[in-house]
């Protein structure tokens, strides 16, 4: 989507340059206003465009990874506020949202304050942040945490409601850690047989809208005893059957992990040659 936007701007810029060339090639008093308009258009399309990841709702009520334009500002607090405002339904920033996606935070929510220091951001909302249906309570927290931590410098998030740290969701009664990060999970699915030895991992599925692909992260919780965690994830990515029919796995179903090696927090994966089967 952003790629199409960039191509469109390039075409507009070239067209404007050509029109401006014709204006100066054939001088005429009536062309003066037209030339001024072309110059204004050129100034517009030459502005720097900066984008940032954001997690918005798709048509299937899943939080999806996409991108929006933000002002070209190095101030982390300003960027964070812009992204959060885009998540608010009916905000003035909704025009940034790509077609097929929508915000999730209630429209009467206000951001009272934002404070960033040492990889930690504190955001204070008014009391309407969680004024939603029960099934959306946790998704709002997930969207906020994953969107803010998409800013490179931000690693942890503390959410306040009118000055008090949000420690429990009012409807679901889910307890929240005071400091949140991506370990909190997103689009959670539970495949547990017991409450012991619980392990979580996040898989990014692919979906399509308006002939454009986008990713949907899903955090799954399983009982990890006697399971090879790496193989579990690879098998999940290469299976043809997912828990939702509208999600597609990224790898071909015939892709197999032959072996792997973990060295210094890096992993080397050895696949069969079908890993490249979908590359065109």
pLDDT at 205: 87
pLDDT > 70: percent of the chain:
63
- For residues 34 and 106, give the distance between their C-alpha atoms in angstroms, rounded to a whole number: 44
| DSSP code of residue 130 | T
Residue 12 has pLDDT above 60, yes or no: no
Residue of 273 and 147 predicted with greater confidence: 147
Mean pLDDT of the chain: 78
Beta-carbon contacts of residue 120 (< 8 Å; ≥ 6 apart): 154, 155, 156, 157, 158, 179
Contact between residue 259 and residue 272 where contact means Cβ atoms under 8 Å apart: no
* Residue bearing the bigger pLDDT, 192 or 114: 114
List the one residue out of 110, 114, 146, 109 whose CA is nearest residue 131: 109
- Are the C-beta atoms of 109 and 87 separated by less than 8 Å? no
Pair 68, 81: CB distance under 8 Å: no
Most confident residue range from 22-26, 39-43, 135-139, 225-229: 135-139
Cα distance between residue 273 and residue 262, in whole Å = 21
Give pLDDT, residue 209. 85
CA 163 vs CA 97, 101, 127, 156: distances in Å: 29, 31, 10, 18
pLDDT digit string (tens) for 208-252? 888 788 999 999 888 865 566 666 666 666 554 454 546 656 566
Greater pLDDT, 120 or 238: 120
Please give the average per-residue pLDDT across 66-94, as a whole number. 92
Mean pLDDT of 76-104: 94
Which long-range CB contacts under 8 A does 151-154 form with residues at least 24 apart? Answer: 151/52, 151/76, 151/79, 151/80, 151/83, 153/76, 153/116, 153/119, 154/76, 154/80, 154/116, 154/119, 154/120, 154/121
SS3 206: strand
pLDDT tier at 255 (50, 70, 90 boundaries)? Answer: low
Model confidence, pTM: 0.73
φ/ψ (deg, to 5) at 178: -65, -35
Q: Are 24 and 149 in contact (CB under 8 A)?
A: no
Residue 61, pLDDT score: 94
Rg (CA), the chain: 23
């Amino acid at each position: 989507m952003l790629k199409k936007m960039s191509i469109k701007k390039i075409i507009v810029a070239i067209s404007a340059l050509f029109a401006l060339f014709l204006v100066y090639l054939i001088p005429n008093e009536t062309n003066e206003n037209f030339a001024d308009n072309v110059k204004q258009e050129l100034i517009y399309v030459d502005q720097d465009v900066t984008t940032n990841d954001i997690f918005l709702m798709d048509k299937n009520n899943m939080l999806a990874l996409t991108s929006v334009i933000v002002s070209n500002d190095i101030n982390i607090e300003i960027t964070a506020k812009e992204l959060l405002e885009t998540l608010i339904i009916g905000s003035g920033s909704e025009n940034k949202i790509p077609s097929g996606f929508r915000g999730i935070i209630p429209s009467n929510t206000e951001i009272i304050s934002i404070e960033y220091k040492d990889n930690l951001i504190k955001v204070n909302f008014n009391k309407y942040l969680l004024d939603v249906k029960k099934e959306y309570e946790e998704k709002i927290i997930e969207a906020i945490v994953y969107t803010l931590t998409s800013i490179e410098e931000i690693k942890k998030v503390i959410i306040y409601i009118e000055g008090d740290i949000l420690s429990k969701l009012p409807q679901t009664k889910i307890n929240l850690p005071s400091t949140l990060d991506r370990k909190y999970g997103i689009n959670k699915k539970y495949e547990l047989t017991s409450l012991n030895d619980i392990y979580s991992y996040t898989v990014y599925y692919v979906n399509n809208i308006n002939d454009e692909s986008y990713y949907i992260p899903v955090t799954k919780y399983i009982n990890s005893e006697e399971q090879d965690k790496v193989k579990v994830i690879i098998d999940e990515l290469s299976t043809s059957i997912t828990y939702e029919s509208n999600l597609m796995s990224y790898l071909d179903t015939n892709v197999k992990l032959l072996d792997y090696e973990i060295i210094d927090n890096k992993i080397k994966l050895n696949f069969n040659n079908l890993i490249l089967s979908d590359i065109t």
